[in-house]
Amino acid sequence: MKQKRIILIVVSLLDLWLMVSFRSYSACEFANSNIQFVKEQTEEALQAPDLKLSKYYAYRALNSIYKSKKSFSECGCKDAIININLASENLKEATKANTVEDLQVFLQIAMQNTLSGINALRTYGVDKNSKYGDKYLTMNTHELGLPTSVLSAEEGQLVSMQRIEEHLTKFENSVIRIVENVECEKARPFIERMQNETIGKLANPSLTEKKQYYHNRVFEITDRALKQLVDCQ
């Protein structure tokens, strides 16, 4: 009788663990799906041809954040929560902007917050060593917007490098737009922050060759941009 009771307790605890684990997985999966949508809508806002349409996409990104707050909370990734809240604040400021230039600044910062949130979710999934985490999180890893598959050793070297160059081109075009359209006093500190983050990443001795190349190129792009922003140095 006593042995049967012990077995029942163990089975009950196992059921509870599975239920909590599945709920955490589902919440993290939903949070990851939503933060990807936030990224997509923020990208649309950045590329929109006018202020009104840009704000429309910013509102869509904001709405997605509001809907996913419970999932982020249940997932439990504190760094992702912090970054998505920062993205929310900057998206709010973007919707209040009166000029395209001001709006672009807040959208760019919101984008960086969102990418940091995506990376935090990925890291959280790896740290938890969840058999589910790798399935839905590592497929969405971003290094300043660069998918994991691009940096993996599994793809052909030529294809992988082509995709890296494509993402670097997009990044450089975004930086050029900031330099050309945003006031120097606002653009310079923003680009400096991106460069400092890149320097921090390059200090990691375990970086793969592809990641080193990517971050070195990001440093070069931001360095060229900063040399054009000498008026407010």
Render the burial of 194-203: b for 16+ CB within 10 Å, e for the rest.
bbebbeebbe
State the DSSP code for 128: T
Q: What is the residue range of 40's domain?
A: 2-228
Prediction pTM value: 0.49
Q: Give the Cα separation of 231 and 138 in Å (integer).
A: 42
Average pLDDT over residues 169-175: 81
pLDDT digits (tens, 9 = 90+) for 57-94: 999 999 999 988 888 888 888 888 888 998 999 899 99
Asked whether 120 and 79 are in contact (CB, 8 A), the reply is: yes
Q: How many CB atoms lie within 10 A of CB 61?
A: 28
> Is 69 part of a structural domain of the chain?
yes
Contacts of 136 (CB under 8 A, 6+ apart): 28, 29, 32, 125
Q: How many CB atoms lie within 10 A of CB 1?
A: 5
> Is 114 part of a structural domain of the chain?
yes
Which residues on neighbouring strands pair with residue 142, listed in sequence order? Answer: 147
> Is 233 part of a structural domain of the chain?
no
How many structural domains comprise the chain? 1
